[in-house]
Amino acid sequence: MTAVIEARGLTKSYGSAKAVDRVSFAIQPGRIVGLIGPNGAGKTTLFKAVLGLTQFDGELRVLGRDPRSERNELMEDVCFIADVAVLPRWLRVSQALDFVEGVHPRFDRSRATSFLGKTDIKMSSRVRELSKGMITQLHLALILAIDARLLVLDEPTLGLDLLFRRQFYDTLLNDYFDKQRTIVLTTHQVEEIENLLTDVIFINRGHVVLDSAVDSLPERYVQLTVTAEHAAQARQLKPFYEREVFGRVAMFFEGRTAAELSTVANGLGEMRTPSVADLFVAKMSGAGS
């Protein structure tokens, strides 16, 4: 199976600073991938490389194309939603549809109109008259109407309330995603989207620190939560990270299954697979790699 995105030794430097340092990964078709990292980790730089918006060293193929030299062809199959409104404030909604219809050969205007008909957005409204949530809905309507193979989302619901965030992701999954399309997204609200993800890539300081299918995480990571009185004994099992939670201590282990750990933990506490959000904090803060 040909990867939708394949990077090998991808590096991007700004002067002496390396925003992305010899990154390698592959994303397969029909996956929903969370690219997760703290601010300044290199996520936006990676997205710019994928979208052909910046030069880089190393190898990168997106849908079989080199984004540096084949960007025009590539963008016929790729859609992008950023964390900031990029539509001119004077533009009317109907004009936004006119523009995308004129520049993208795979835009289905009737589909965009149908989606907008389910919202409070009027075709005659200007962008400056819309709330942030409405602007995001407009972006989504434009995206849903394009038959693209890859959708890249950079903090698409930043600043939206919980209701709009839920509506956004429900619409994305129900009306857009299928096994032929691939979605790559970043967000700081990991807890809200971790159940949607099929894969996660954690990045920190320009390096990939975890690249895994979500359903493979139970084979690699275990969280053991113990009372304070059992903490010293549990530490002898060598967790790579721990934190205190309401008077108890959560310890994270890598490379050990729950079954294996239970044979030596002797009922010290509760074991489970850590959530993606908790594992992210552990990998960013702990010594695991």
Rounded to whole angstroms, the Cα distance separating 279 from 154 reads: 21
Residue type, 5: I
**Chain segment 220-254, per-residue pLDDT in tens:** 999 999 998 889 988 999 999 999 988 899 999 99
For the ranges 169-178, 196-205, 214-223, 233-242, the lowest mean pLDDT is seen at: 169-178
Confidence of residue 85 (pLDDT cuts 50, 70, 90): low
Whole-angstrom CA distances from 65 to 3, 33, 55, 60, 70 are 11, 20, 15, 8, 6
Average pLDDT taken over every residue of the chain: 90
pLDDT at 159 over 80: no
Confidence of residue 133 (pLDDT cuts 50, 70, 90): confident
Considering only CA atoms, give the Rg of the chain: 22
Bridge pairing between strands 182-186 and 150-154: parallel
For the ranges 47-51, 141-145, 208-212, the lowest mean pLDDT is seen at: 141-145
Sheet arrangement for strand 241-245? 241-245, 248-254, 221-227, 269-272
Q: What mean pLDDT is predicted for residues 109-127? A: 93
For the ranges 18-32, 53-67, 150-164, the lowest mean pLDDT is seen at: 150-164
CA angle centred on 260, ends 259 and 262, rounded to 5°: 65
**In the block, residue with structure tokens 């992701």:** 169
Model pLDDT, residue 124: 96
pLDDT at 65 over 50: yes
Sheet arrangement for strand 17-27? 17-27, 5-14, 57-62
Model pLDDT, residue 155: 86
Confidence of residue 288 (pLDDT cuts 50, 70, 90): very low
Model pLDDT, residue 144: 84
Structure-derived torsion over alpha carbons of residues 66, 34, 152, 119, reported in degrees to the nearest 10: 170
For the ranges 154-158, 200-204, 206-210, the lowest mean pLDDT is seen at: 154-158
Are 145 and 176 in contact, with CB atoms under 8 Å apart? no
pLDDT at 170 over 90: no
Rounded to whole angstroms, the Cα distance separating 31 from 13 reads: 29
Instruction: Report residue 51 CA to chain centroid gap.
Output: 15
Are 98 and 124 in contact, with CB atoms under 8 Å apart? no
Domains along the chain with CATH numbers: 5-214 (3.40.50.300), 220-285 (3.30.70)
**Chain segment 3-22, per-residue pLDDT in tens:** 999 999 999 999 888 999 99
List, in order, residues 6 or more apart from 14 with CB less than 8 Å away.
none
Q: What mean pLDDT is predicted for residues 113-140? A: 90
Q: What mean pLDDT is predicted for residues 56-78? A: 93
Are 58 and 46 in contact, with CB atoms under 8 Å apart? no
Model pLDDT, residue 16: 86
Model pLDDT, residue 118: 86
Confidence of residue 83 (pLDDT cuts 50, 70, 90): low
Model pLDDT, residue 286: 66
Dump the DSSP string for 56-124: -EEEEEETTB-TTT-HHHHTTSEEEE-SS--S-TT-BHHHHHHHHHHH-TTB-HHHHHHHHTTSS--TT
Model pLDDT, residue 175: 77
Model pLDDT, residue 281: 93
Dump the DSSP string for 215-233: GGGGGTEEEEEEEGGGHHH
pLDDT at 289 over 60: no
